[in-house]
Structure 1
Amino acid sequence: MKDQRRRSSLPRLSWFAVEHLLLLPLGALIAMVWVNAVPESYYRFTYAVSFTVNDVGMVFFFALITKEVVEATVPGGVLHPWRRALLPVIAAIGATALPALIHKQIVVALDEPMLAGGWPVSLATDLAVSYFVARIIFRKHPVIPFVLLLGIACDAIGFLALALFNPESDLHLATGALIVAVAVGMAAALRRTRVKSFWPYLIGAGSASWYGFFWSGLHPALALVPIVPFLPHAARDPGFFVDARPEARDTLSQFEIWWRYPAQVALFVFGLVNAGVPIGALELGTLGLPIAVLAGRPLGVLAGAGIARVGGLHFPHRVGWRDVLVGGLTAAMGFTVGLFFCTALLPPGQLRSETSMGVLLSLAGAPLALLFAKILHVGRFSEH
């Protein structure tokens, strides 16, 4: 079978790295060493390839993330029915509002008014990093699609804040939204005419959506997020993180089979291109951002989820408050989306460097999430 042949063609060590999602941290580790050893060489490399990697290559990773969310919302999925799918979206309001409020209070307390304009950075969630850490902790637990949908909603709120509170940004939201709407219409038409190959969705609707995101000033890597739900798929969820069988005929499964290995390679280069932050002097103001997101995100998720529960919404099956707390920590890391916000909001110089270092320090959410998972006995540390 095609998938088995592709797997067997990989060296054993390479296959282990792909299967255990080790390519992203490997790329990040190489980047950190490279930028602090030979910075000129690293910056030349990233200047040459960053657009291709971040805005094109990562399209397929985010498409596969969306595929998991789509399958989780069909009958039998952990986010079905709508009362379960809507809860992480409502929780995202608390997950963004509380970090922003904490960040503002820290800036006031430290008397660092120049850092106040960077508050939208506290809204960012890096789906790639969150997915990686959540998979390590929870493996195939149903809290993962909850975290993914939470992260998508947080980033949507962040981009909206960027557009509303950064008047100097070159955003054309109305025009971009119109182009994306046309792309969605194309995908819907392909679905109605029962087009089974994923290529017309990808080349036609996907390309139009990418251009719409790019023109709007938003992250083009999210271009397939509104398109993937229109790919014909199985009527019931086969199980969360159950790999599509090579003989599967539905379009969504064929898309996954074709792109899951290239997406892993894109993750490696993504880490290599984006994780190269020089280790500079740690200013006191730098600590405001990681404190805001590492404390505010999980507590905000709990608050938002609590309000949603009072309103009649439900957690997925087998997901409890402890899982949501740890999941909120995995969603606290901004990384590349946070760095993107830094570039859009702050001028080059010391201020941007301090905030970027704060974004990098938010990666402490990974060991914190592991620690809390162990203390609370969730995920891989569960007693069951």
Structure 2
Amino acid sequence: MARKITLDFLKTEAASGVVLGLAALAALIVANSPLSGTYFAWLKSEHVLQVGPLMLQLTISEWIKEGLMAVFFLVVGLEIKYEILKGELSDPRKLATPVLAAAGGMIAPALVYLAVTGSLGGRLGGWPVPLATDIAFALAVFAVAARGLPSSLRVFLLTLAIVDDLGAIALIAVLFSSSVQWIPVLWIAAMLALGALFTSRRRVAAPFWVLGFGMVWYLTVLSGLSTSLTAVAFAMIVPVVDRHDDGQSPLKEAMHDLHPWVAYLVLPLFAFAKAGVSFAGLSLEQAFAPLVLGIAMGLFLGKQVGVFGMAWLATALKLGRRPTRATWAELYGVSLLCGVGFTMSLFIGALAFPGAIDSPEQVEVKLGVLAGSFLSAATGAAVLVAAGRRRKKLSPKTADTHAG
């Protein structure tokens, strides 16, 4: 059953990867067309949602980022929990490898950024920008390029990206969150603790999960925290054990029901909202500014060195294990994909260099993120495709021996 769920996810992501890429391309075209003004005005337009006494007023961009993407992180959290308890990551040494690799993937990009910008006399305050991995885009590229490769590589990438983004969220909380409302945070903690206790003792109907997640999400928006963090936390309280009456697991049911919506609606909308970058008025000097080069090299060089180097070190020191049946070349391809920072890096860049959307710093941040993410995605995809072709040439017995 576990194998079937993983294969279904890969099939869905392989198909949705094309949709996601088309959505990002459409955003870039619209942002640099006569419709550019309408596009950015639409993203900035505010809309109100009111349910009884509860009311929220957010822009379209915020509704997509904080609302729809919370569902994406919920699905990601469900899959991580399933893999830790029942799947690939149930072996602590296999869990240790992506966690340690994620740490390396945060340290090395920061050092590369500081080295590049420092040597060129640039601003050092942008070091957190290349630290994050864009889960959605990285998984989409993997789904398209890594057909025929072990599914353990996808679990490795997913786990690493989650740990990576949680680390980025923690950095945001420490460096850029000066207005967190702690009363809603306490209510969130209490609701999660009560939900975990309640669901461990009895069967809970689906409406309870929907209502509970909605309340946690609403309180998260009020608190000023990222909804991605509490969405993953909520996933941790969803039971993975099969029910006695019908033999179904609430966690697996939720994964099955939500994943197509996330793959074909949530992620393409998010890509369309966030990939729109205008290149109007761009100069050659600005394209090679220290900030641009620091971010691009941090994502492209720093990520692959930190992730692959730490994964190799963890395996050599027997602190962790390589993903099941995966070769080092395949793992290197995944390490390259970790340099796809895109949405989260753009978000951190907006916090690190506050200002207008067309300010010089913001333009340079976007250029650096786009360049580093594109190089990482293209190179990673090429390595994975080559590794897949090499695997096909080997007999199953030889491939497994080589990977082990």
Q: Sort the TM-score into its range (normalised by shorter chain).
A: 0.7 to 0.9
In the TM superposition, 1:217-256 aligns within 5 A as 217-234=224-241, 249-256=248-255
Tell me the equivalent position of 1:32.
Answer: 28
Tell me the equivalent position of 2:271.
Answer: 271
Deviations 1:87-142 (A, max 9, x none): 21111111110000000000012111x3x111101111111111111212224621
Residue 74 (str. 1) matches residue 88 (str. 2):
no
Deviations 1:155-205 (A, max 9, x none): 122222233344xx434286565344223213312321323434322321x
For these two proteins, the number of residue pairs brought into alignment is 352
Q: Give 5+ residue unaligned stretches, structure 1.
A: 1-14, 236-246
* Counterpart amino acid of residue 20 in structure 2: L
Tell me the equivalent position of 1:195.
Answer: 203
Of 15, 34, 51, which aligns to 2:62? 51
Aligned-CA RMSD value:
2.6
Residue 19 to residue 307, structure 1, CA distance change in 2 (3 Å): same
Q: Give 5+ residue unaligned stretches, structure 2.
A: 1-10, 46-59, 395-404
* Counterpart amino acid of residue 82 in structure 1: P
* Counterpart amino acid of residue 362 in structure 1: G
User: Secondary structure at 2:248's aligned position in 1?
Assistant: coil
Q: Is the 8 A contact 1:23 1:265 kept in 2?
A: no
Q: Is the 8 A contact 1:122 1:293 kept in 2?
A: yes
Tell me the equivalent position of 1:325.
Answer: 332
Residue 129 (str. 1) matches residue 125 (str. 2):
no
1:325 and 1:143 mapped to 2: Cα distance? 10
How far is 1:61 from its partner?
1.8
* Counterpart amino acid of residue 265 in structure 1: L
How far is 1:83 from its partner?
2.0
* Counterpart amino acid of residue 260 in structure 1: H
Residue 318 to residue 261, structure 1, CA distance change in 2 (3 Å): same
Residue 379 to residue 296, structure 1, CA distance change in 2 (3 Å): farther
* Counterpart amino acid of residue 384 in structure 2: A
Of 51, 70, 76, which aligns to 1:65? 76
1:47 and 1:18 mapped to 2: Cα distance? 32
Tell me the equivalent position of 1:110.
Answer: 120
| TM-score, normalised by the number of residues in structure 2 | 0.79
| TM-score, normalised by the number of residues in structure 1 | 0.83
2:181 and 2:337 mapped to 1: Cα distance? 29
2:63 and 2:342 mapped to 1: Cα distance? 18
Of 11, 18, 28, which aligns to 1:22? 18
Tell me the equivalent position of 1:91.
Answer: 101
Residue 362 to residue 79, structure 1, CA distance change in 2 (3 Å): same
How far is 1:56 from its partner?
0.8
* Counterpart amino acid of residue 130 in structure 1: A
1:228 and 1:147 mapped to 2: Cα distance? 19
1:380 and 1:198 mapped to 2: Cα distance? 46
2:214 and 2:389 mapped to 1: Cα distance? 38
Residue 192 to residue 17, structure 1, CA distance change in 2 (3 Å): closer
Residue 354 (str. 1) matches residue 399 (str. 2):
no
Residue 156 to residue 17, structure 1, CA distance change in 2 (3 Å): closer
2:202 and 2:30 mapped to 1: Cα distance? 49
Residue 209 to residue 351, structure 1, CA distance change in 2 (3 Å): same
